[in-house]
Amino acid sequence: MKRLLPAFALALGLLFAGQPAAHAEGEGQLMASGSNIRDQASLQRGAKLFFNYCVGCHSLKYMRYSRIADDLGLTEQQVMQNLNFTGAKFEDPVISHMPAEDATKWFGKAPPDLSLEVSAKTADWVYTYLNTFYLDPKSPIGWNNTTLPNAAMPFPLWELQGEQVAVTKPGSDEAEKLELAHPGKLTPGQYQQATRDLVNFLEYVSEPAALQRHHYGVWVLLFLALFTLLAYLLKKEYWKDVH
Protein backbone atom coordinates (compact mmCIF):
# COMPACT_ATOMS: atom_id res chain seq x y z
CA MET A 1 0.00 0.00 0.00
CA LYS A 2 2.91 2.38 0.61
CA ARG A 3 3.73 2.23 -3.09
CA LEU A 4 0.11 3.01 -4.01
CA LEU A 5 -0.08 6.20 -1.97
CA PRO A 6 2.13 8.27 -4.35
CA ALA A 7 0.00 7.15 -7.29
CA PHE A 8 -3.22 8.22 -5.57
CA ALA A 9 -1.61 11.50 -4.54
CA LEU A 10 -0.60 12.11 -8.16
CA ALA A 11 -4.12 11.35 -9.35
CA LEU A 12 -5.62 13.82 -6.88
CA GLY A 13 -3.06 16.41 -7.87
CA LEU A 14 -4.00 16.04 -11.54
CA LEU A 15 -7.68 16.35 -10.66
CA PHE A 16 -7.26 19.74 -9.03
CA ALA A 17 -4.34 21.03 -11.08
CA GLY A 18 -6.63 22.62 -13.62
CA GLN A 19 -8.63 24.51 -11.00
CA PRO A 20 -7.65 28.19 -10.72
CA ALA A 21 -6.61 29.25 -7.26
CA ALA A 22 -9.18 31.65 -5.86
CA HIS A 23 -7.96 34.87 -4.32
CA ALA A 24 -8.86 35.30 -0.69
CA GLU A 25 -11.07 38.35 -0.22
CA GLY A 26 -8.83 41.35 0.10
CA GLU A 27 -5.76 39.63 -1.34
CA GLY A 28 -4.45 41.92 -4.04
CA GLN A 29 -7.62 44.00 -3.45
CA LEU A 30 -9.66 41.35 -5.21
CA MET A 31 -12.80 39.69 -3.92
CA ALA A 32 -13.18 35.93 -4.24
CA SER A 33 -15.75 35.17 -6.93
CA GLY A 34 -16.35 31.59 -5.83
CA SER A 35 -17.07 30.69 -9.45
CA ASN A 36 -18.06 27.14 -10.33
CA ILE A 37 -18.85 26.41 -13.97
CA ARG A 38 -20.31 23.03 -13.04
CA ASP A 39 -23.25 24.83 -11.38
CA GLN A 40 -25.66 24.75 -14.33
CA ALA A 41 -28.35 26.80 -12.57
CA SER A 42 -25.81 29.54 -11.92
CA LEU A 43 -24.71 29.46 -15.58
CA GLN A 44 -28.33 29.84 -16.69
CA ARG A 45 -28.88 32.82 -14.38
CA GLY A 46 -25.60 34.35 -15.54
CA ALA A 47 -26.62 33.95 -19.19
CA LYS A 48 -29.89 35.73 -18.47
CA LEU A 49 -28.02 38.63 -16.87
CA PHE A 50 -25.54 38.88 -19.73
CA PHE A 51 -28.18 38.96 -22.44
CA ASN A 52 -30.33 41.44 -20.54
CA TYR A 53 -27.62 43.87 -19.44
CA CYS A 54 -24.43 43.31 -21.44
CA VAL A 55 -25.09 42.15 -25.00
CA GLY A 56 -26.31 45.59 -26.02
CA CYS A 57 -22.65 46.68 -26.05
CA HIS A 58 -20.53 43.53 -25.73
CA SER A 59 -20.26 40.55 -28.07
CA LEU A 60 -19.21 36.93 -27.51
CA LYS A 61 -17.85 36.33 -30.99
CA TYR A 62 -16.45 32.87 -30.20
CA MET A 63 -19.73 31.58 -28.76
CA ARG A 64 -22.82 30.46 -30.68
CA TYR A 65 -26.38 30.45 -29.37
CA SER A 66 -26.66 26.77 -30.22
CA ARG A 67 -23.58 25.91 -28.15
CA ILE A 68 -24.97 27.82 -25.18
CA ALA A 69 -28.20 25.85 -25.45
CA ASP A 70 -26.36 22.50 -25.52
CA ASP A 71 -24.02 23.27 -22.64
CA LEU A 72 -26.54 24.99 -20.36
CA GLY A 73 -29.34 22.46 -20.82
CA LEU A 74 -31.66 24.86 -22.68
CA THR A 75 -33.91 24.26 -25.66
CA GLU A 76 -33.67 26.19 -28.90
CA GLN A 77 -37.01 27.82 -28.11
CA GLN A 78 -35.84 28.96 -24.66
CA VAL A 79 -32.68 30.50 -26.09
CA MET A 80 -34.35 32.24 -29.02
CA GLN A 81 -37.19 33.64 -26.90
CA ASN A 82 -35.28 34.62 -23.77
CA LEU A 83 -31.66 35.23 -24.78
CA ASN A 84 -31.68 36.31 -28.43
CA PHE A 85 -32.64 39.99 -28.76
CA THR A 86 -30.73 40.78 -31.96
CA GLY A 87 -32.63 38.69 -34.48
CA ALA A 88 -29.68 36.34 -34.97
CA LYS A 89 -30.12 32.74 -36.09
CA PHE A 90 -29.72 29.86 -33.65
CA GLU A 91 -26.39 28.85 -35.21
CA ASP A 92 -24.99 32.39 -35.26
CA PRO A 93 -22.33 33.75 -32.89
CA VAL A 94 -23.37 36.22 -30.21
CA ILE A 95 -22.71 39.63 -31.76
CA SER A 96 -23.86 42.95 -30.34
CA HIS A 97 -25.91 45.15 -32.64
CA MET A 98 -24.24 48.36 -31.45
CA PRO A 99 -22.46 49.97 -34.43
CA ALA A 100 -18.73 50.39 -33.79
CA GLU A 101 -18.82 54.06 -34.81
CA ASP A 102 -21.58 54.82 -32.28
CA ALA A 103 -19.70 53.01 -29.52
CA THR A 104 -16.56 54.96 -30.29
CA LYS A 105 -18.49 58.25 -30.28
CA TRP A 106 -20.24 57.53 -26.97
CA PHE A 107 -17.50 55.78 -25.00
CA GLY A 108 -14.31 56.88 -26.75
CA LYS A 109 -13.62 53.34 -27.97
CA ALA A 110 -15.55 50.25 -28.97
CA PRO A 111 -16.62 48.01 -26.04
CA PRO A 112 -14.42 44.89 -25.93
CA ASP A 113 -15.59 41.44 -26.86
CA LEU A 114 -16.03 39.47 -23.63
CA SER A 115 -15.39 35.96 -24.96
CA LEU A 116 -11.98 35.74 -23.28
CA GLU A 117 -12.34 38.41 -20.58
CA VAL A 118 -12.18 35.99 -17.64
CA SER A 119 -9.24 34.11 -19.16
CA ALA A 120 -7.35 37.37 -19.55
CA LYS A 121 -8.14 38.96 -16.17
CA THR A 122 -9.38 36.08 -13.93
CA ALA A 123 -12.85 35.54 -12.51
CA ASP A 124 -11.96 37.33 -9.26
CA TRP A 125 -10.95 40.49 -11.14
CA VAL A 126 -14.18 40.64 -13.17
CA TYR A 127 -16.26 39.93 -10.05
CA THR A 128 -14.50 42.67 -8.09
CA TYR A 129 -14.89 45.07 -11.00
CA LEU A 130 -18.66 44.52 -11.09
CA ASN A 131 -18.88 45.21 -7.35
CA THR A 132 -16.76 48.38 -7.18
CA PHE A 133 -18.58 50.97 -9.29
CA TYR A 134 -19.42 54.24 -7.55
CA LEU A 135 -20.92 57.62 -8.38
CA ASP A 136 -18.34 60.17 -9.49
CA PRO A 137 -19.60 63.63 -10.51
CA LYS A 138 -16.13 64.43 -11.92
CA SER A 139 -16.33 61.58 -14.43
CA PRO A 140 -17.80 62.31 -17.91
CA ILE A 141 -20.07 59.27 -17.57
CA GLY A 142 -20.98 59.90 -13.93
CA TRP A 143 -19.40 56.65 -12.72
CA ASN A 144 -15.98 55.45 -11.68
CA ASN A 145 -14.51 52.18 -10.48
CA THR A 146 -11.89 51.44 -7.82
CA THR A 147 -10.73 48.28 -9.62
CA LEU A 148 -10.29 50.03 -12.98
CA PRO A 149 -10.09 53.79 -12.31
CA ASN A 150 -11.51 56.07 -15.01
CA ALA A 151 -13.16 53.17 -16.83
CA ALA A 152 -15.03 54.30 -19.95
CA MET A 153 -17.94 51.94 -19.30
CA PRO A 154 -21.07 53.24 -17.54
CA PHE A 155 -22.38 50.97 -14.81
CA PRO A 156 -24.97 48.69 -16.47
CA LEU A 157 -26.12 46.99 -13.27
CA TRP A 158 -26.83 50.09 -11.18
CA GLU A 159 -30.56 49.34 -11.02
CA LEU A 160 -29.75 46.02 -9.37
CA GLN A 161 -27.02 47.09 -6.96
CA GLY A 162 -28.05 50.69 -6.37
CA GLU A 163 -25.69 53.63 -6.15
CA GLN A 164 -22.46 53.42 -4.21
CA VAL A 165 -20.43 56.45 -3.13
CA ALA A 166 -16.77 56.64 -2.28
CA VAL A 167 -15.57 57.47 1.21
CA THR A 168 -12.24 59.22 0.66
CA LYS A 169 -9.22 59.49 2.89
CA PRO A 170 -8.79 62.85 4.68
CA GLY A 171 -7.06 65.33 2.40
CA SER A 172 -7.14 62.95 -0.56
CA ASP A 173 -9.39 62.06 -3.49
CA GLU A 174 -8.49 58.36 -3.18
CA ALA A 175 -11.44 56.13 -2.30
CA GLU A 176 -10.89 54.35 1.01
CA LYS A 177 -14.09 52.33 0.86
CA LEU A 178 -17.47 52.28 -0.87
CA GLU A 179 -20.84 52.73 0.81
CA LEU A 180 -24.29 52.02 -0.60
CA ALA A 181 -26.06 55.38 -0.65
CA HIS A 182 -29.21 54.35 -2.55
CA PRO A 183 -30.23 50.66 -2.53
CA GLY A 184 -31.16 48.95 -5.77
CA LYS A 185 -33.65 46.23 -6.61
CA LEU A 186 -31.46 43.59 -4.96
CA THR A 187 -30.04 43.34 -1.47
CA PRO A 188 -26.21 43.42 -1.24
CA GLY A 189 -26.16 39.64 -0.81
CA GLN A 190 -28.48 39.09 -3.77
CA TYR A 191 -26.41 41.42 -5.93
CA GLN A 192 -23.20 39.61 -5.07
CA GLN A 193 -24.86 36.33 -6.05
CA ALA A 194 -26.05 37.88 -9.32
CA THR A 195 -22.57 39.09 -10.24
CA ARG A 196 -21.15 35.71 -9.21
CA ASP A 197 -23.59 34.08 -11.67
CA LEU A 198 -22.61 36.53 -14.41
CA VAL A 199 -18.89 35.91 -13.85
CA ASN A 200 -19.58 32.19 -13.78
CA PHE A 201 -21.19 32.43 -17.21
CA LEU A 202 -18.31 34.50 -18.59
CA GLU A 203 -15.82 31.97 -17.21
CA TYR A 204 -17.71 29.20 -19.00
CA VAL A 205 -17.72 31.27 -22.23
CA SER A 206 -13.95 31.73 -22.04
CA GLU A 207 -13.45 27.94 -22.24
CA PRO A 208 -16.64 25.96 -22.98
CA ALA A 209 -14.66 22.72 -23.39
CA ALA A 210 -13.84 22.85 -19.67
CA LEU A 211 -17.29 21.41 -18.90
CA GLN A 212 -16.55 18.26 -20.90
CA ARG A 213 -12.98 18.12 -19.63
CA HIS A 214 -14.12 18.13 -16.01
CA HIS A 215 -16.71 15.45 -16.76
CA TYR A 216 -14.31 13.11 -18.55
CA GLY A 217 -11.38 13.92 -16.28
CA VAL A 218 -12.95 12.21 -13.28
CA TRP A 219 -13.43 8.97 -15.23
CA VAL A 220 -9.89 9.13 -16.61
CA LEU A 221 -8.45 9.51 -13.12
CA LEU A 222 -10.57 6.62 -11.81
CA PHE A 223 -9.28 4.47 -14.68
CA LEU A 224 -5.68 5.44 -13.89
CA ALA A 225 -6.18 4.60 -10.23
CA LEU A 226 -7.66 1.20 -11.12
CA PHE A 227 -4.89 0.55 -13.65
CA THR A 228 -2.27 1.44 -11.02
CA LEU A 229 -3.80 -1.06 -8.61
CA LEU A 230 -3.89 -3.82 -11.24
CA ALA A 231 -0.32 -3.05 -12.31
CA TYR A 232 0.83 -3.28 -8.70
CA LEU A 233 -0.92 -6.64 -8.19
CA LEU A 234 0.57 -7.93 -11.46
CA LYS A 235 4.02 -6.81 -10.37
CA LYS A 236 3.63 -8.70 -7.08
CA GLU A 237 2.56 -11.83 -8.97
CA TYR A 238 5.59 -11.68 -11.30
CA TRP A 239 8.06 -11.06 -8.49
CA LYS A 240 6.63 -13.26 -5.75
CA ASP A 241 9.17 -16.05 -6.39
CA VAL A 242 12.15 -13.68 -6.71
CA HIS A 243 14.16 -13.42 -3.49
pLDDT of 232 reads 84
Domain membership flag for residue 174: yes
Task: Please determine, for residue 2, whether its predicted confidence score (pLDDT) is greater than 90.
Answer: no
CATH number of the domain that residue 55 is part of:
1.10.760.10
Cβ neighbors of 35 (< 8 A, separation 6 or more) are: 123, 127, 196, 199, 200, 203
Q: How many domains is the chain partitioned into structurally?
A: 1
Domain membership flag for residue 201: yes
pLDDT of 72 reads 96
Domain membership flag for residue 234: no
Say if residues 72 and 197 touch (Cβ distance below 8 Å). Answer: no
pLDDT of 13 reads 53
pLDDT of 213 reads 72
Domain membership flag for residue 167: yes
Average pLDDT, the chain: 85
Task: Please determine, for residue 46, whether its predicted confidence score (pLDDT) is greater than 90.
Answer: yes
Say if residues 116 and 208 touch (Cβ distance below 8 Å). Answer: no
Name the percent of the chain lying above pLDDT 90.
57
Residue ranges of alpha helices (H) inside the chain are 4-17, 40-53, 65-72, 76-82, 100-107, 117-121, 123-130, 158-161, 188-206, 209-239
Say if residues 65 and 88 touch (Cβ distance below 8 Å). Answer: yes
Residue 167's domain comprises 31-207
Higher pLDDT, 243 or 171: 171
Q: Are strands 133-135 and 162-168 parallel, antiparallel or unpaired?
A: unpaired
What band does 220 get if pLDDT is binned at 50, 70 and 90?
confident
Say if residues 68 and 74 touch (Cβ distance below 8 Å). Answer: yes
pLDDT of 16 reads 45
Cβ neighbors of 58 (< 8 A, separation 6 or more) are: 96, 111, 112, 113, 114
The pLDDT tens digits for 154-212 are 999 999 999 999 998 777 777 889 999 999 999 999 999 999 999 999 999 999 988 77
pLDDT of 101 reads 72
Domain membership flag for residue 237: no
Domain membership flag for residue 1: no
Domain membership flag for residue 115: yes
CA quadruple 188, 56, 141, 158: dihedral, nearest 10: -10
Domain membership flag for residue 133: yes
Task: Please determine, for residue 10, whether its predicted confidence score (pLDDT) is greater than 70.
Answer: no
Low-confidence winner among 29-33, 100-104, 183-187 (lowest mean pLDDT): 100-104
